[in-house]
Amino acid sequence: MKIQLFTFLAVVSVSCAASPQTTTSILAEDDGSCGSDRAALMSMDYWEFDQSPNGIQSVLRKPGCRTEGADLIRDYHAALREAGRPVTHDFPESKITFSDDGEVPLLYWHEGQVRAMEGDTPTAVELFRLSLKPPEENNAGWNEYVRANIAFLEGDFERLLNEREALSAMARPGYGDINLGVVNGLIACFGRTYLDAYTTAECDRRPMQ
């Protein structure tokens, strides 16, 4: 069985039942030392690395560690692709396959969001584009959501509105609603930094926040 996840709010805190996520860690300022255990992080399975509090979240929630966290996501994903093996996790109910060959598009998305919040727009846009799905896998308007974020970063308000309209027609309860709320926040705070538009209270339009 293969599972797909549809959203990311900087440091992911989800379950298979699509629970709300948190933005706490990305609010840290760049004024601290990371001191992350790289070897331990790189040895984790995908779900633990990407989703658990002890994974990449443990780096991103430290002050000043967004860039190091993004680099770790990049390197972890590169190692998965180089190994070329199925990316799986054993849940109590069943074993889930996230990728057949180490290519996990959601990791491009997660790295891209951290890069965007650090102001590296060109790299973020490139990574966001790598997270786009084939048309047959475009569940709940994922591609429209991604393209809306790209439009925001590229300063194209009309395209942002168009992608929001397309997403609203495809979104479904759960992640789709959260993603639509994110895009609504990007519209409300268009022209501000991605970090501001994604995390500040006055921009937040997510229904579960």
Kindly list the domain boundaries of the chain, sorted by start residue.
1-131, 133-209
pLDDT per residue as tens digits for the range 59-118: 999 999 999 999 999 999 999 999 999 999 999 999 999 999 999 999 999 999 999 999
* Contact indicator for 133, 164 with CB cutoff of 8 Å: no
What's the confidence (pLDDT) of residue 48? 94
Which pLDDT band, with edges at 50, 70 and 90, does 10 fall under? very low
**CA distances in angstroms from 200 to 47, 49, 91, listed in the order given:** 28, 26, 34
31 three-class SS: coil
Looking at residue 126, what DSSP letter applies? H
Q: Which of 9, 28, 5, 4 is nearest to 206 (CA)?
A: 9
